[in-house]
Structure 1
Amino acid sequence: MSFHYFAGHAYRALTARKDGPSLYDVCDPVLAGPVTGDPHLAKFYKTALGNPALRMLLNRAGLPELRDEARLGRLREALRRAREDQEPDWAAVGAPVADLVDSIDLDHPRPPKIAFNRDAPALSVIDSVIRDCAHHLLRSYRESGFLPTYAAFNLIGDPDFRGRELIMALTGLNARGYKNSSLLFNLARVFIARSSARGIIHPPWKGIAEPMWEPVQIRHRSAYYDAFFIEALLSYVETGLASPADAAAAKGAIDDMVDFCINISREEVKAQDGRRFDVITALAPAPHPRFSRFFAQIKQDLGFGVYVPDCDTTACSFSAATQAGSRDPILDQPLLDFYEGYQVRAGTNEPRVTVPLNDNIDYEGGVATWIDNVKGERPYGNDLDPTLNLDILEVSFRNLARWKVLETPARLATVHRIIAFQKRLAESGAFANPRSHIYYLPELYSAYFGRCYAAYLALPLAAQQAIDPNGAFDLIRTRVLSYVQGEMLAGEINVFDAALALIALGHLGADVRTFAPALNCIVTELGEGGRRGPFRAYEWNKMKTPTRILVGGPEVTSAFVLMGLALARKAMTGRM
């Protein structure tokens, strides 16, 4: 977006006619004065929503329905109850905010259909972009001592998060600070979405994955991110394009990131049957996440004081370490024994999913996200994401012999039930619905299915037959390819969309002629990242609570472009 675009929207926001009480007219009488009751609610309000820049932007954003004194009074009373009650009735507290959230008009991107150049770029051009991305990663690692990723708040929230989902979050999350932040962020998003400030906080973009153009981005490190950076550098070395110096630098970075994933980020927990397992936490203890002192305090103030391990970070870290050739004893643990305790069985442990934001899908056979730490803390309640379950399958295939999956009926049954969960998603078409996903986009699900499918195809035929006797993977492959080729690549895309498409197409054995739209998008947009890298930062994954939090970064884009181009190159040169 141009300077004129933002200047115009800022002018309209600052000069708009105020049509009812603003966010600050609602909240200041309750939260801006002397603190009583729960101190976090007022602290969050002053830190996140009461900052001068946002206050100036939203000062004239009023809601006409709040001119009704009775309705305004109910809203303020809900805030008082959230602040004062020792055990608030969160459904009642959230009700007046939920009503307002339902007045927001938001939708997912719908890229226009366009005609693509069907001639693929020359292999030499593809090789050049691969080297650019790899050099960006190696340079960034050399300068920072790690590969950074960034988080950015989009205050307008997620299109699938409505009033109903707010009540789900307030009643299903455990940590009070997280409930507080969810309540106030959702109140604020109403004033943003229904005012001229919307154009500044939520400008339009090209493609599907959202660019991260918010001015405040929180740099940090996580084992989950390192796992994919490992895969990207491994794919670079595998292309044969790396010089001896680059190959050595990549190996050094990979070794360090493997250590970060399975040692520094290791945490012991209890399985549901009482056994002890070592799993991987998404945020290792300080100073390892590399937050600045300022953002470390902000993280605490926003209600993210306790961060627990999760099933996805554990699966991806184990997979990356396995691919890198690690022999650490942690990898000998049969993770499927642990995941079985978090696998949903209809009618028995369904309440394990306490925040069912994607209850349009059938959870039977899926594994929930968050792992109780050794103290039994569960700040985020629990949810269930389809893409996470692909990662569990992928790491299980890579460790099939080590974990004796085929020889252990309970482990094989766990795999079968996850595959059945994925098959239902494909048969119904739900995988292509953004609402079905908690932390990802359907486009990323498609790429991650390709990754999972490739690990499946690498198994002996007898093992493939034992794992998938009913041909579920072929069915899912057909549906995913149809989505990527017939929907995703039929419309306008950006670089991150293109990278995800190539990863899906490459792993799923698509005709190389279908690669052209994605390849041309990447080559055309090379340099869009300016001084920060070859490409811009885009949405890799997200959180829907307490508001829409995007995670990605220029390094992330380079990593996924590198992986997508490496796969395309392999197919185009007949090396698949």
Structure 2
Amino acid sequence: MKHATIYDICDDPILKSRTISGPGKNLRKLYRKLFGNPLLKHFLLRWCSHPDIPMQKVEIYRNMMSQAMIATYDDWQNPQWTQKTFAPLAALLSKVKDPQWRIRHAADTKPPRIKDAEVNEVLRAVLDDIYKVWDKNPADPYFPVSAQVIMPGDSICDGENFMNILNGLGSFEFQNINLLFGLMRCFLHANPLVMKIFRRPWKGIAEPLSMPASWITHRTAFYDDIFFEQIYNLYILEELPQNEQSKLKEMLESILNFLIVTSMEWLKGPSSGIKHPAITCLPKNEKGEPLCNLKPKDWKAKKELGFDDYVPDVDTTFLALAMSRKWLDLVAKKNLNCDVQLLKHCEEFLDFPWVEIINEYQIGGGNKTNLPTITMTRPLDYYGAVPLWFDKPFEKENGRIIRETLGNEVCPGHNMDILESILTNRKQWNALEGDNLETVKRFLTFHYNAFVSGNFKQDSAVRFYLPEIYVSYAGRLYDTWLTIPENERRIIDPDGKVEVIRQLAINYCKYDMLGATLNPFDASLAVATLCLLQYETRGDGLIERGIRILHDHLGEGRKKHPYKAYEWTMVRHPTRIIVGSEVTTSLFIMNAIACYKRYLKM
């Protein structure tokens, strides 16, 4: 009995239909781009049939695609229509069973002997890599980050979540691409031999990037937010020679300028009407061209396919606010000779009622207009959280207004960054007064609930990160917490929620991370987090086990990079896309060593 392939289902309704809608035209364009790729089509997917779709039943799926080709924008925004139309695909997705991708064995818990020379060897290797990459483009230095599409999709994308995503997206372009990748996921998992070409099991937690020829390399303000803090953590140690300290300072100023000058745009609160700056991950110049080091061919494809609308996110903005405050304070404390204009930009950026602004988006607070449209990060309790995106409507040619282009979701890591930023800027923003204090307490309650419930350990509970990244953010939060006077801490947290979060985060690092196989990226997070959480049991070798992993894996990278590229951040839809780079791994490991050196001095 012959079974259907993707092309048996899609070719006739998508390529031969004469009566098609605007969204249908976009679907045809996407289909030709994705499934018309010669390598995919003729060498791989053409031979991938689905055992649950004999040719006698193919009309069910052809009708589904025919409906998509004539669907209007209003159809796509009608949950009843999507639920009915794509029920066959949702049923297929719910049958997909992912293999166990992570290979993890119980770790050797014997305390290793770590020499200072080994720690410094790791630091020197990653610093040399960081300098080399930064100096590669003197006219516009930056740290490139790459995105890799994982064709078999994300493990949590079952039929229910697929429908949740489709109904939560405001853009038919993104709904169309989710539809096609949903089909891709079903057919690849039904053909294990072909799937092995795209994805194989790996050691540790974070997935290594492979197939570098397919990487899309770029820069965003979010990445630079994190890189700024990592470089800052090493810079404040003041242990490097003066020429290297000057190099780090040059990086910090350049990155901060990209954050709060190049990547800034203006928005208005949806209810309050407060006009305020925000940081976008897709800045454009006057000609509408991207300023994020995206290759012209990648930008051309992105724009042609309808993916050039981008909304500033709350996380990137609040991280930049925290970095601005840290830089201003450090410059004042050390009397550094710095870019005066950049300092002025920092001051202007901070000078807005940011707690009131973010309260408008907080669930349980002032959020009345921008609630989450996609809720796949359940079982999190959303009380006290803020969804990913600020409000930014887009007007199309026909006057149609698009909101929530990418949907809106709750990610715990984003919310940890916001809380830390508010605590860092608490004095200027009057964060411990009146309604502002209640906003802060709601953020803390959200994180407390995520940790005490154990939900923070679930891959499904995080949107852009793995749980280990969220836990590392708890380390950063605690590091900031210790800078707050005791009387203010009691006002914010009279019940000791922060200490509960700290202990649970330490246990996660100790048992869930260092208790089994880790790769060097995972190990860098465990080391940095335990140091920031001020792990008390010094001498038991726990942190040093992480350092040993970093040292033992030196030289694993390609093209003379000390380490491989690993999944640092990711998206789950339209398919799983993992993001990282070799120099990103170097920066994370540099940060781990910086935190370790500081920890030893305490």
TM normalised by structure 1 equals 0.93
CA distance in 2: counterparts of 1:504 and 1:548, whole angstroms: 26
- Are the equivalent residues in 2 in contact too, given 1:48–1:302 (CA < 8 A)? no
The answer to whether structure 1 residue 125 and structure 2 residue 118 are counterparts is yes
AA aligned to 1:378 is E
The answer to whether structure 1 residue 115 and structure 2 residue 108 are counterparts is yes
Could you say which residue in structure 1 is the equivalent of 2:34?
Answer: 48
Aligned residue for 2:202, secondary structure, equals coil
Q: Give per-residue Cα distances to partners, 1:467-507, cap 9 Å, x unaligned.
A: 11110001111111111101211110001100111121011
AA aligned to 1:251 is K
Aligned residue for 2:410, secondary structure, equals coil
CA shift, 1:546, in A, is: 0.5
- Are the equivalent residues in 2 in contact too, given 1:44–1:301 (CA < 8 A)? no
CA shift, 1:120, in A, is: 4.0
The answer to whether structure 1 residue 281 and structure 2 residue 268 are counterparts is no
Aligned residue for 1:170, secondary structure, equals helix
Could you say which residue in structure 2 is the equivalent of 1:4?
Answer: none
Could you say which residue in structure 2 is the equivalent of 1:3?
Answer: none
- Are the equivalent residues in 1 in contact too, given 2:234–2:590 (CA < 8 A)? yes
Q: Which one is further off, 209-218 or 238-247?
A: 238-247
The answer to whether structure 1 residue 98 and structure 2 residue 114 are counterparts is no
Identity of aligned residues (%): 28
The alpha-carbon distance between structure 1 residues 318 and 471, as it changes in their structure 2 partners (threshold 3 A), is same
AA aligned to 2:277 is D
The alpha-carbon distance between structure 1 residues 472 and 101, as it changes in their structure 2 partners (threshold 3 A), is same
Could you say which residue in structure 2 is the equivalent of 1:299?
Answer: 302
Could you say which residue in structure 2 is the equivalent of 1:12?
Answer: none
The alpha-carbon distance between structure 1 residues 93 and 289, as it changes in their structure 2 partners (threshold 3 A), is farther
CA distance in 1: counterparts of 2:355 and 2:370, whole angstroms: 21
CA shift, 1:92, in A, is: 2.2
CA shift, 1:429, in A, is: 0.6
Q: Give per-residue Cα distances to partners, 1:519-542, cap 9 Å, x unaligned.
A: 111111111113252111111111
The alpha-carbon distance between structure 1 residues 96 and 481, as it changes in their structure 2 partners (threshold 3 A), is same
- Are the equivalent residues in 2 in contact too, given 1:499–1:564 (CA < 8 A)? yes
The alpha-carbon distance between structure 1 residues 108 and 164, as it changes in their structure 2 partners (threshold 3 A), is farther
- Are the equivalent residues in 2 in contact too, given 1:126–1:569 (CA < 8 A)? no
Could you say which residue in structure 2 is the equivalent of 1:181?
Answer: 177
1:422 to 426, 447, 452: 447
The alpha-carbon distance between structure 1 residues 567 and 48, as it changes in their structure 2 partners (threshold 3 A), is same
Matches within 5 A, 1:218-237: 218-237=216-235
The alpha-carbon distance between structure 1 residues 491 and 98, as it changes in their structure 2 partners (threshold 3 A), is same
Q: Which one is further off, 314-323 or 515-524?
A: 314-323
AA aligned to 2:565 is A
The answer to whether structure 1 residue 267 and structure 2 residue 265 are counterparts is yes
Could you say which residue in structure 2 is the equivalent of 1:337?
Answer: 356
CA distance in 2: counterparts of 1:64 and 1:456, whole angstroms: 55
Could you say which residue in structure 2 is the equivalent of 1:386?
Answer: 412
Could you say which residue in structure 2 is the equivalent of 1:244?
Answer: 242
The answer to whether structure 1 residue 402 and structure 2 residue 399 are counterparts is no
Structure 2 unmatched runs, 5+: 76-80, 329-342, 395-401
- Are the equivalent residues in 2 in contact too, given 1:451–1:503 (CA < 8 A)? no
CA shift, 1:238, in A, is: 2.6
CA distance in 1: counterparts of 2:422 and 2:204, whole angstroms: 33
Q: Give per-residue Cα distances to partners, 1:361-385, cap 9 Å, x unaligned.
A: 1101111111122657420121001
Matches within 5 A, 1:157-556: 157-195=153-191, 196-215=193-212, 216-271=214-269, 272-285=271-284, 286-325=289-328, 326=343, 327-345=346-364, 349=368, 352-373=371-392, 375=394, 377-406=403-432, 408-510=433-535, 511-512=537-538, 513-531=541-559, 533-556=561-584
CA shift, 1:147, in A, is: 1.1
CA shift, 1:321, in A, is: 2.2
The answer to whether structure 1 residue 140 and structure 2 residue 127 are counterparts is no
AA aligned to 1:83 is M
CA shift, 1:438, in A, is: 0.9
- Are the equivalent residues in 2 in contact too, given 1:101–1:162 (CA < 8 A)? yes
CA distance in 1: counterparts of 2:249 and 2:393, whole angstroms: 34
CA shift, 1:301, in A, is: 4.4
CA shift, 1:328, in A, is: 3.0
The alpha-carbon distance between structure 1 residues 134 and 528, as it changes in their structure 2 partners (threshold 3 A), is same
The alpha-carbon distance between structure 1 residues 120 and 446, as it changes in their structure 2 partners (threshold 3 A), is farther
- Are the equivalent residues in 1 in contact too, given 2:165–2:374 (CA < 8 A)? yes
CA distance in 1: counterparts of 2:389 and 2:465, whole angstroms: 16
CA distance in 1: counterparts of 2:215 and 2:504, whole angstroms: 36
CA distance in 2: counterparts of 1:464 and 1:347, whole angstroms: 24
Could you say which residue in structure 1 is the equivalent of 2:332?
Answer: none
CA distance in 2: counterparts of 1:108 and 1:410, whole angstroms: 46
CA shift, 1:514, in A, is: 1.3
CA shift, 1:299, in A, is: 2.0
AA aligned to 1:64 is P
CA distance in 2: counterparts of 1:264 and 1:351, whole angstroms: 26
CA shift, 1:73, in A, is: 1.2
Could you say which residue in structure 1 is the equivalent of 2:334?
Answer: none
CA distance in 1: counterparts of 2:427 and 2:368, whole angstroms: 29
Could you say which residue in structure 1 is the equivalent of 2:62?
Answer: 76
Q: Give per-residue Cα distances to partners, 1:391-428, cap 9 Å, x unaligned.
A: 0011111111111212x311111110010111111111
CA distance in 2: counterparts of 1:443 and 1:19, whole angstroms: 45
- Are the equivalent residues in 2 in contact too, given 1:127–1:241 (CA < 8 A)? no
Q: Give per-residue Cα distances to partners, 1:106-127, cap 9 Å, x unaligned.
A: 1563622132452142122212
Matches within 5 A, 1:5-44: 20-33=3-16, 36-37=20-21, 38-44=24-30
Matches within 5 A, 1:53-72: 53-55=39-41, 56-67=43-54, 69-70=56-57, 72=58
CA shift, 1:68, in A, is: 5.1
Q: Give per-residue Cα distances to partners, 1:113-142, cap 9 Å, x unaligned.
A: 132452142122212212222222222111
Could you say which residue in structure 2 is the equivalent of 1:6?
Answer: none
Aligned residue for 2:102, secondary structure, equals coil
Could you say which residue in structure 2 is the equivalent of 1:10?
Answer: none
TM normalised by structure 2 equals 0.89
Q: CA RMSD in A?
A: 1.9
Aligned residue for 2:147, secondary structure, equals strand
The answer to whether structure 1 residue 559 and structure 2 residue 552 are counterparts is no
CA distance in 2: counterparts of 1:108 and 1:472, whole angstroms: 34
CA distance in 1: counterparts of 2:486 and 2:318, whole angstroms: 24
CA distance in 2: counterparts of 1:464 and 1:218, whole angstroms: 44
- Are the equivalent residues in 2 in contact too, given 1:541–1:551 (CA < 8 A)? yes
CA shift, 1:349, in A, is: 4.5
Displacement over 6 Å in runs of 4+: none
The alpha-carbon distance between structure 1 residues 249 and 96, as it changes in their structure 2 partners (threshold 3 A), is same
CA distance in 2: counterparts of 1:63 and 1:475, whole angstroms: 49
CA shift, 1:214, in A, is: 3.1
CA distance in 1: counterparts of 2:299 and 2:223, whole angstroms: 19
The alpha-carbon distance between structure 1 residues 149 and 229, as it changes in their structure 2 partners (threshold 3 A), is same
CA distance in 2: counterparts of 1:120 and 1:217, whole angstroms: 38
CA distance in 1: counterparts of 2:16 and 2:272, whole angstroms: 48
